[in-house]
């Protein structure tokens, strides 16, 4: 069956509030550096009071990836829950404006739309504080099995595991994809997230996942490896396709047929904000796959997309990735 979508993504629908901060600020306000910490509504309101020069933009890991897919000219569908409030409306408007199919009905009477308060330090690292709010309301009814079955790849973010009740929705999406013979891709999201749900993730890899995205810290947490090389050995022993990203050290791709690629990072004049780097790598990689590129090509396109997004504040591409792809000689 021909697919209606290149990729269907399911994840938390979040609006980001990004602001510059010093390492001293992180220490003073007990913000854990470079990772994602879950916060409650009170802590969110307290942190927002501290933000002097913040910018608000639609975010969420899988949602960012879908934005990248659209920027590359791909056809994508996103599933994720907002409330019908100001932030929720803004999130939906942004998704549609960039050409992503997004029609998850907003929660009417729920917690507010999720937000992620992101402190960006001068070294470009982002430290994320997520209030999940309306994301907790995602239900299996929000998952359109026909749309998932009509997508080449189903892409799932690990952060979803932070809501116990989103698991039924994920299971429904996976069943729809598998039933139609589609591929299932999964991103680990965050090393602490891996720590929280490691055995569930490994179980998922055993049974459902075809394509795994992990950065170095996530891969080491997932495989309980002391160094990258050990994590790579475990990834190669797994039956799926592993895409392991290593920030400025580039990426390593390990395929089930034994193929291994070691690619350098795409050049970046200056790293401003690493928010969304992994999301955009996944966008380029998955878009490449959907166009039948070889693994080297997929990884290179992932690197180009990631390089764009770390060159400026914000987690979504500012330049047309389709144009960047063309300029890079694809």
Point out which residues bind its own copies (CB under 8 A): 227-229, 232-233, 236, 249, 252, 258, 260-264, 296
Q: How far is the CB of 175 from its own copies (least distance, A)?
A: 34
Q: How far is the CB of 18 from its own copies (least distance, A)?
A: 31
CB nearer to its own copies: give 134 or 307.
307
CB nearer to its own copies: give 224 or 264.
264
- Please provide the distance, in angstroms rounded to a whole number, between the alpha carbons at the two ends of the chain: 27
The answer for residues whose C-beta is within 8 angstroms of residue 179's C-beta and 6 or more apart is 149
CB nearer to its own copies: give 171 or 249.
249
CB nearer to its own copies: give 128 or 241.
241
Q: Would you say 116 and 170 are in contact if contact means Cβ atoms under 8 Å apart?
A: no
CB nearer to its own copies: give 228 or 238.
228
Q: How far is the CB of 106 from its own copies (least distance, A)?
A: 45
- Residues forming a β-bridge with 116: 16, 130
How big is the CA angle at 281 (ends 277 and 283), to the nearest 5 degrees? 115
Q: How far is the CB of 262 from its own copies (least distance, A)?
A: 5
User: What stretch of H or E contains 277?
Assistant: helix 277-290
DSSP states of 113-137 as a string? PEEEEEEE-TTS-EEEEEE-GGGGG
Residue 264 backbone dihedrals phi, psi, to 5 degrees: -75, 160
What is the rounded CA–CA span in Å between residue 127 and residue 135? 20
Q: How far is the CB of 307 from its own copies (least distance, A)?
A: 16
Burial of 3 (0-12, 13-18, 19+ CB in 10 A): middle
DSSP states of 170-230 as a string? HHHHHHHHHHTT-EEEEE---HHHHHHHHHHHHHHHHHT-SEEEEEHHHHHHHTT-SSHHH
Q: How far is the CB of 330 from its own copies (least distance, A)?
A: 15
Q: How far is the CB of 299 from its own copies (least distance, A)?
A: 8
Query: What number of other Cβ atoms are within 10 A of residue 23's Cβ?
Result: 15
CB nearer to its own copies: give 168 or 271.
271
CB nearer to its own copies: give 109 or 227.
227
């Amino acid at each position: 069956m021909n697919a209606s979508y290149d990729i269907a993504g399911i994840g938390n629908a979040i609006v980001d509030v990004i602001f510059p901060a010093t390492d001293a600020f992180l220490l003073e306000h007990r913000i854990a550096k470079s990772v994602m910490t879950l916060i409650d509504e009170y802590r969110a309101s307290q942190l927002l009071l501290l933000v002097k020069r913040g910018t608000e933009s639609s975010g969420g890991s899988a949602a960012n990836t879908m934005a990248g897919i659209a920027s590359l000219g791909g056809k994508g569908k996103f599933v994720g829950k907002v409330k019908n409030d100001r932030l929720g409306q803004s999130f939906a408007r942004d998704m549609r404006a960039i050409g992503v199919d997004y029609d998850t009905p907003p929660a009417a009477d729920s917690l507010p739309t999720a937000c992620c308060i992101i402190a960006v330090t001068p070294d470009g690292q982002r430290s994320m504080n997520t209030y999940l709010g309306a994301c907790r309301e995602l239900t299996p009814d929000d998952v359109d099995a026909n749309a998932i079955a009509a997508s080449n790849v189903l892409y799932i973010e690990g952060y979803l595991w932070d809501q116990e009740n989103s698991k039924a929705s994920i299971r429904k999406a996976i069943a729809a994809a598998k039933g139609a013979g589609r591929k299932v891709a999964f991103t680990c999201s965050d090393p602490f997230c891996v720590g929280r749900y490691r055995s569930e993730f490994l179980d998922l890899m055993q049974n459902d996942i075809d394509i795994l995205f992990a950065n170095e810290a996530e891969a080491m947490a997932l495989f309980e490896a002391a160094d990258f090389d050990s994590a790579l050995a475990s990834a190669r022993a797994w039956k799926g396709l592993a895409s392991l990203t290593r920030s400025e050290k580039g990426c390593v791709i390990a395929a089930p047929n034994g193929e291994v690629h070691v690619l350098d990072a795409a050049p970046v004049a200056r790293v401003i904000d690493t928010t969304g780097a992994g999301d955009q790598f996944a966008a380029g990689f998955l878009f490449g796959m959907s166009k039948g590129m070889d693994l080297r090509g997929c990884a290179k396109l992932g690197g180009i997309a990631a390089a764009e997004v770390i060159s400026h504040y914000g987690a979504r591409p500012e330049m047309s990735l389709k144009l960047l792809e063309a300029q890079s000689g694809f």
